[in-house]
Chains A and B, each alone.
Chain A
Amino acid sequence: MRLFKAKQCALSETALSSSEHLAKGLSRRQFGLTAAAALAMPTVLRAHGSPKITSKGTYDVTVDRVRINTGNFRKMGVGYNKSQIPTILRFREGEEVTINVTNNLRESTSIHWHGLVLPFRQDGVPGISFNGIAPGETFTYRFPIQQAGTYWFHSHSGFQEPDGAYGAIVIEPRDGERLGANRDYVVQLADKHPHPGSRIMRNLKRMPDYYNRSQRTLQTLIKDSRQDGLKAALKDRGMWGRMRMMPTDIEDVQGYTALINGRSTSQNWTGLFRPGEKIRLRIINSSAMTYFDMRIPGLKMTVVQADGNDVKPVTVDELRVAVAETYDVIIQPRENKVYSIIAESMGRTALVRGTLSPKKGYAGAVPRLRSKPLLTMADMSGMMGMDMGDHVMQNASGMQTMSGMEHSKMQGMNKPGMNGMENSGMNMSGNHDPFYAPGSGLTPKAYNGGKFLSYTDLRAARPLYRNRAASRTIELRLTGNMERYIWSINGVKYEDADPIVLNYGERVRIRFINETMMAHPMHLHGMWSIIDTGQGARNPIKHTVSVQPGTTTDIEVEVDAPGQWAFHCHLSYHADGGMFRKVVVRGRPA
């Protein structure tokens, strides 16, 4: 273990630590550290790889084939700056950055700056923003930094991102951090699989349950028939079997080793603190496929930012981080003890523990995986074509009507909309999260019975736009054929689809209707997605919006970025399977 760490650290050319950052009087630019200096620092300070900063505002990033060791398995993958430890790029709002990306792979690559507002030619999507970066080539990105917060970057080519090509972006506000945290750590989550992405896709295409090792078996049949009677257990299986669907179909790909900042549980990423300090954790989910539920047993987390935009602080016990989302939380451990940062996959097949400790060399406790959830008929309610009871169908159409009412007719009057939903007899418990289908098997519960974050808790601290009515609504049904592993929008996969055309200057409402039984983190490039949570002007501003099975979720988009952009589900194999669109913005600023 020790040896491994030392080796890894030696691999990262230079290293920056978050805590160093807070040291006053030091500019970020002064961290052009030598490898020797990096090695001289305590292990915990060498948390990340970092770019070479050649001159002010200029960053060099290499894309390399790297050896990845998770402690559970070794494989070859892709990494930045020759490391499996994700690189952190640190920018300051208002600066103009130049990023030289050198492709040391034998195939074409690209970097997409996830969540950054920039000219579309700099957005890094091959075939939409540019032609990609050929092997051996150095491509120079140049763009102004017009925002602050936590973001990330990743390859948008092939399966390089699941294979390891991801890093973090931390942008300091123009006038310095407002939150006054004593420590500031990036917590970048990833799911690492022994198989390369291309092989995973091939296996899923031929056998969609290839990686599902949580299926119902004879054992669960016996257990269920003891509980509910054999007849009921068989009837339930008959119903799912008739649809050729699986209630265990929550995570298409299992067998992952979860990582925090490139480190597995055994490799134990550790952040140091002194009791009483306020610590900011910048949680980024850079997984290919895995939603993570985050908790720090014994501590409350105060969510202060989502997807780079500040929100009114909300204190929770646990939160779900959809793929590609970021959440910044503040914690304040007062006791002189070791805490565990736990990220557990939504389907409860993978878990990683990181440690917060007053001293080096400690590891927090590792809890057991909680019991695996099962999808319910509510999660299927979007699949209108399926043979299901009327009851479920009504719920689904009810949902849609409600969200329609709530948003277009009762703009600003958020309460009636929400009450309407509750009154429609949809069997909702007191604190049901309206972003899950009523009765959904995926509805989260906090580990300690406490507060679990919902989108409805997110209130924009600084709305970016005047709150105005959308001029039109675009309906996007999220569709798929699980058995063929084809994913699509409005039943058409990317290859066969026309672009979505938006007009510069308009505000559009996009209505996602999830007709599949899986959650989809939808990511629109270049423009913000303002989720309609019924908070009017305070609706949270995000770049990635998770749409749960059997639900309808509305976002609004201020079309303020000319050019063409990608718009897709951020689950790697769903995007590749066709749940992807090109968006063309017609017109430009006068």
Chain B
Amino acid sequence: MKRFKLAGLAGLFLPWAQVTYAEPLIWGFQAEQFEYRAMDGEDAFVWDFDALAGSDELKFVWRSEAELGLTSDDFEKLENQARLQFPVSPFFDAVVGAYADTPGGAPDRYAGVVGLKGLAPQWFEIDADLFVSDHPFFRFEAEYEALLTNRLIFTPSIEVDMPLKDDLARERGAGGAIVEIGARLSYDVIDRAFSPYVGVNYEASYGDTKDIVKANGEDTDAFSIVFGTRLMF
């Protein structure tokens, strides 16, 4: 679509370089989830954020998703991704990157990422990523912001992880989906920078994954009440 440019990224490392009419660096931090999850078993602290820098043509994104068990003080989940994002259509970006999944008490997983991120018709925000490794899986995320008022926003979301191969050490069976459904009601207190919310979150596993989890004597689903804040700066 456009010439591939590293100008924006160069700006990352050379912030002092003053070039006439260089487009300003696009950067920022955005957390969709930054929350306390109260559930039956162990309560947890969860974050899901993107930190980005770049240009219209190319952005570098650090994406981090984590779930910290508050009793065990162990990461149930700790995923970090380094992603490069570039436009492929008016509303969608392609993504390539690297993924590191390093929870406590379970083997680490590393993968390459290819995906798409963008805005589908009717304002659905979509992330679709394929994680390529010995333990490949596919992830689909969708989110919709329903404006009750211009500041009170109801956000249903869904995230589906679909293992493409068995990974017993991580309790995943090929074709057995792990589905997370959430609904959060937020209020923009300061611009869109600080938007506290309350909500619910439900996570369940299906198919082979469910069987593996069950065989290990663990819960195959979990319901939680969440409260936290969206952040953007």
Q: In the bound complex, what is the Cα–Cα distance between A241 and B120 (angstroms)? A: 9
Task: Check if B26 sits within 8 Å of A202, measured CB to CB.
Answer: yes
A219 within 8 A of B: yes
State whether the Cβ of A213 lies closer than 8 Å to any Cβ in chain B: yes
- Partner of A213 from B56, B148, B150 at Cβ < 8 Å: B150
Q: How large is the interface on B (under 10, 10 to 19, 20 to 34, 35 or more residues)?
A: 20 to 34
Chain B residues with Cβ below 8 Å from A496 are: 2-3
Interface status of B21 (Cβ within 8 A of chain A): yes
Write out the residue numbers on chain A whose beta carbons fall within 8 Å of the beta carbon of B214.
none
B12 interface residue, CB < 8 Å from A? no
Closest chain B residue to A482, Cβ basis: B90
Contact check, A210 vs B191: say whether CB atoms are below 8 A apart. yes
Known: A127-B21, A217-B149, A496-B3. A241 touches B26 (CB 8 A): no
User: By the criterion CB–CB under 8 Å, are A242 and B18 in contact?
Assistant: no
A582 to B18, CA, bound (A): 20
Q: How far is B27's CA from A202's CA once the two chains are assembled, in angstroms?
A: 7
| Contact between chains at B24 and A576 (CB < 8 Å) | yes
In the complex, which of the residues B23, B52, B90, B151 contacts A495, with contact meaning CB atoms closer than 8 Å? B23
A218 CA to B149 CA, complexed, in Å: 7
Q: Which chain B residue shows the least CB distance to A198?
A: B24
Chain B's closest residue to A212 (CB) is B150
Could you tell me which residues of chain B, from 1 to 30, have a CB within 8 Å of some CB in chain A? 2-3, 7, 18, 20-21, 23-24, 26-28, 30
User: Given B24, B28, B90, B150, which contacts A206 in the complex, CB threshold below 8 Å?
Assistant: B28
Q: How far apart are B190's CB and chain A's nearest CB, in angstroms?
A: 11
Fill in one digit per residue for A217-239: 1 if any B CB lies within 8 Å of its CB, else 0. Answer: 11100000000000000000010
B225 adjacent to chain A (CB < 8 Å): no
- Given A216-B147, A496-B2, CB of A242 within 8 Å of CB of B24: no
- The reply to whether B27 and A244 contact each other, CB–CB distance below 8 Å, is no
Within 8 A of B (CB), among A458-491: 481, 483-484, 486
A527 to B147 Cα, complex, angstroms: 46
Q: How far is the CA of A127 from the CA of B19 in the complex (A)?
A: 9
- Contact A210/B20 with A215-B147, A217-B149 known, Cβ cut-off 8 Å: no
Chain B residues lying within 8 Å of A215, measured Cβ to Cβ, are 147, 150
Distance in Å from the Cβ of B18 to the closest Cβ of chain A? Answer: 7
Find out whether the CB atom of A214 lies under 8 angstroms from the CB atom of B24.
Answer: no
**Contact present for B21 and A483 (CB under 8 Å):** no
Task: Please name the residue on chain B nearest to A242 by beta carbon.
Answer: B121
Beyond A207-B192, A207-B232, A218-B146, whether A481 also contacts B24 by CB under 8 A is no
Q: Min CB distance, A288 to chain B, in Å? A: 15
Interface residues of B in 42-77 (CB under 8 A from A): 52, 56
Annotate A323-356 by CB proximity to B: 1 below 8 A, 0 otherwise: 0000000000000000000000000000000000
Task: Tell whether, in the assembled complex, residue B90 and residue A241 are in contact, meaning their CB atoms are under 8 Å apart.
Answer: no
A213 touches B151 (CB 8 A): yes
Chain B hits for A216, CB < 8 A: 147
B119 contacts partner chain A, Cβ-Cβ < 8 Å = yes
**Bound CA span A203–B119, Å:** 17
Choice from A217, A238, A481, A493 contacting B122 with Cβ under 8 Å: A238
CB pair B122 A242 closer than 8 Å:
yes
Complex Cα gap A548–B91 (Å)? 24
- What total of chain A residues lie within 8 Å of the partner, measured CB to CB? 37
- Indicate the member of B3, B91, B192 with the most A CB atoms within 10 Å: B192
Q: Is the CB of B148 within 8 A of A217?
A: yes
Q: Is the CB of B163 closer than 8 A to any CB of chain A?
A: no
Q: Is the CB of A127 within 8 A of B119?
A: no
Contact B24 A201 (CB under 8 A): yes
Known: A198-B24, A241-B121, A486-B56. A218 touches B2 (CB 8 A): no
A384 CA / B20 CA spacing, docked (Å):
34
With a CB–CB cut-off of 8 A, which chain B residues contact A562? none
The docked-state distance in angstroms from the alpha carbon of A578 to that of B232 is 25
On chain B, the residues within 8 Å of A484 by CB distance are 56, 87, 90
The answer to whether B119 touches A483 (Cβ under 8 A) is: yes
Give the number of residue pairs across the A-B interface with Cβ within 8 Å: 74
Q: Considering only CB atoms, which chain B residue lies closest to A131 in the complex?
A: B20
Is A91 interfacial (CB-CB < 8 Å)? no
Of A201, A202, A203, A244, which one neighbours B123 at CB under 8 angstroms?
A: A244
Nearest-neighbour CB distance to chain B for A566, whole angstroms, equals: 10
In angstroms, Cα B28 to Cα A195, docked, is 15
A108 interface residue (CB < 8 Å to B) = yes
Report the minimum CB–CB distance from A159 to chain B (whole Å): 9
Q: Which of A206, A217, A493 makes the CB contact (< 8 A) with B30?
A: A206
B26 lies within 8 A of A483 (CB)? no
Known: A206-B30, A241-B123, A486-B56. A217 touches B24 (CB 8 A): no
Within 8 A of B (CB), among A477-530: 481, 483-484, 486, 493-496
Scan residues 11-47 of chain A and give those whose CB is less than 8 A from a CB of chain B.
none
Q: Which of B7, B26, B119, B148 has the most CB of A within 10 A?
A: B26
Given A202-B26, A207-B192, A483-B119: A126 and B3 within 8 A (CB)?
A: no
A158 cross-chain contacts in B, Cβ below 8 A: 24
How far, in Å, is B208 (CB) from chain A's closest CB? 37
- For residue A328, give the distance in angstroms from its CB to the closest CB of chain B: 34
Q: Does A432 contact B (CB under 8 A)?
A: no
A201 contacts across to B, CB distance below 8 A: 24
Tell me, rounded to whole Å, the shortest Cβ–Cβ distance linking A580 to chain B.
9
The reply on A205 being an interface residue by CB < 8 A is yes
Determine the chain B residues whose CB is within 8 A of the CB of A578 once the complex forms: 23
* Complex partner residue of B21 from A198, A241, A495, CB under 8 angstroms: A495
Of all chain A residues, the one with the shortest Cβ separation from B29 is: A206
B147 with A217: CB separation less than 8 A: yes
Distance A218 CA – B27 CA, assembled complex (angstroms): 32
A126 to B19, CA, bound (A): 11
CB distance from A350 to the nearest CB of B (A): 15
**What B residues does A217 contact at CB under 8 A?**
147-150
Contact B232 A244 (CB under 8 A): no
Of all chain B residues, the one with the shortest Cβ separation from A243 is B121
Which residues of B in the span 78-136 have a Cβ within 8 Å of any Cβ on A? 87, 90-91, 119, 121-123
Complex: chain A residue closest to B152, CB-CB: A217
Do A244 and B24 touch (CB < 8 A)?
Answer: no
Q: How far is the CA of A578 from the CA of B24 in the complex (A)?
A: 11
| B121 in contact with A244 (CB, 8 Å) | yes
Report Cα–Cα, A242/B121, bound state, in Å: 5
Q: Considering the complex, which residues of chain A in the window 113-169 have a beta carbon less than 8 Å from any beta carbon of chain B?
A: 126-127, 131-132, 158
Residues 180 to 214 of chain A near chain B (Cβ within 8 Å): 195, 198, 201-203, 205-207, 210, 213-214
In the complex, A201→B20 CA distance in Å? Answer: 18
Q: List the B side residues contacting A213 at CB < 8 Å.
A: 150-151
Distance between A230 CB and nearest chain B CB, rounded to angstroms: 16
The residue on A at minimum CB distance from B148 is A218
Other-chain residue from B20, B23, B119, B192 in contact with A244 (beta carbon distance below 8 A): B119
12 A-B pairs whose Cβ atoms sit less than 8 Å apart in the complex: A195-B191, A202-B24, A202-B26, A206-B30, A206-B232, A214-B150, A215-B150, A216-B147, A217-B148, A217-B150, A241-B122, A576-B24
Q: Can you list the 9 inter-chain pairs with the closest CB atoms, starting with the nearest?
A: A127-B20, A241-B122, A217-B147, A205-B26, A213-B150, A242-B121, A218-B148, A127-B21, A217-B149
Known: A206-B30, A217-B150. 11 other contacts (CB 8 A): A127-B20, A198-B24, A202-B27, A203-B192, A205-B26, A216-B147, A217-B147, A218-B148, A238-B122, A241-B121, A481-B90
